Amino acid sequence: MSNNVSKGGASEPPKSIGVLTSGGDAPGMNACIAAIAHSAERRGAAVRGIFGGFAGLMEGNSIPIGAELSGLARRGGTFLGTSRNGDLEGELQSVGMAEAMKRCSVDGLIVLGGAGSLAAAARVAHEGVPIIGVPCTIDNDVPGSGFSLGFDSAVNKAVRTADEILDTAESLSNRVFMIETLGGTTGHIAVAAAYAVGADAVFVHEAPLDVDAAARKIKAKMDAGATHGLVVLCEGLGTENIARRLESVTGRRVRITVLGHAQRGGSPTYLDRTLGREFGEASVEWIMSGATDVMAVWRDGEVVPAALSEVAASVRKIDLRKYEAVNSG
């Protein structure tokens, strides 16, 4: 294990591990939960699934789970459900971490969630609880990890949608197509999808919007004989207004496809199923060896540990090279 792994003060590994999913759901979470249950069972530890995230932990809402969950790996989302963190600090003071763990009959935690949930996990670790974090968010905005669980599935859904739209565009010509992805205030999905499908432009929160420049680029291409234009953008940027401006400058009709929450559902891809299993197995290995305040991350083709404090210390930036490659010209 790397130097940024901290050891808990427990004299023996946890006998019962609680697993909870917090924040939003993401394809691959069920695969990770199943891997945790199976790996812990092989090591002689019990696992309890905690319903409803940190709120469920405080309420003692948990059940025993085991290797029988293996069939869940193909399903999207999380059967445990999630919740926003709410007033976690207040609940910790009101209930107390020791009491919450007692209510759920666990003495260690593995938390699956996005940047906010993992920052909450880091706060819980300061209460002396053995805890491991797993980055799970389609937004892919968890610092320190090249991939978060669910991102690959979400991007692949955007890519498939673009491919299907472009099939139509070849016959239904002289139009500009816009695809709005999820992502919150981060553009990782939009940039990755736009780069993969060869879009004419991508708009994200992290960079200034230059709709006119994109429109002029698309107009020039279509004036020269191209059958269509394609724009990918992140949600929350004013899609309708951007579409009207594109129509005005290009002189072409614009058609919008909003992916919405369909990106969160469906069967996880090969990569997300594999990551889910590797994240889960590594998390059990580490917590059983006495590690705590650790996050499982994907770096250079393998799962390695990193300090949970990394989540609160930085912001994961978009891939500027891909962003500029899409918008250049």
CA distance 182 to 146: 19
Q: What are phi and psi of 313, to 5 degrees?
A: -90, -15
Residue 202 DSSP SS3: strand
Q: Look at 2 and 207; give whichever has higher pLDDT.
A: 207
Compute the average pLDDT of residues 123-151: 92
Q: What are phi and psi of 291, to 5 degrees?
A: -75, 155
Residue 3 has pLDDT above 50, yes or no: no
- Spell out the domains of the chain, with CATH numbers in brackets: 6-150+268-313 (3.40.50.450), 153-264 (3.40.50.460)
pTM across the whole model: 0.91
Amino acid at 16: S
pLDDT (tens digit per residue) in 230-258: 999 999 999 999 999 999 999 999 999 99
The pLDDT of residue 2 is 43
Tell me the CA distances in angstroms from 249 to 208, 217, 220, 326, one per residue in order: 18, 10, 11, 19
Q: What is the mean pLDDT of the chain?
A: 90
pLDDT (tens digit per residue) in 288-297: 999 999 999 9
Residue 11 has pLDDT above 60, yes or no: no
The pLDDT of residue 1 is 41
């780069």: which residue's tokens? 195
The pLDDT of residue 68 is 79
Residue 304 has pLDDT above 60, yes or no: yes
CA distance 201 to 237: 14
Task: Yes or no: say if 193 and 162 are a contact pair by the CB < 8 Å rule.
Answer: yes
Sheet containing 175-181, strands listed edge to edge, beginning at the edge strand earlier in sequence: 201-203, 228-234, 175-181, 253-258
Confidence of residue 84 (pLDDT cuts 50, 70, 90): low
Which of the residues 25, 139, 141, 293 is marked catalytic?
139
Residue 207 has pLDDT above 50, yes or no: yes
CA distance 8 to 125: 10
Exposed (0-12), middle (13-18) or buried (19+): which is 106, by Cβ within 10 Å?
buried
Amino acid at 98: A
pLDDT (tens digit per residue) in 143-186: 989 999 999 999 999 999 999 999 988 888 889 999 999 999 99
Q: What are phi and psi of 211, to 5 degrees?
A: -65, -40
Task: Yes or no: say if 78 and 48 are a contact pair by the CB < 8 Å rule.
Answer: no
How many CB atoms are closer than 10 A to CB 240? 10
Annotation says 139 is catalytic: yes
Output the six-digit token pair for 88: 């976690």
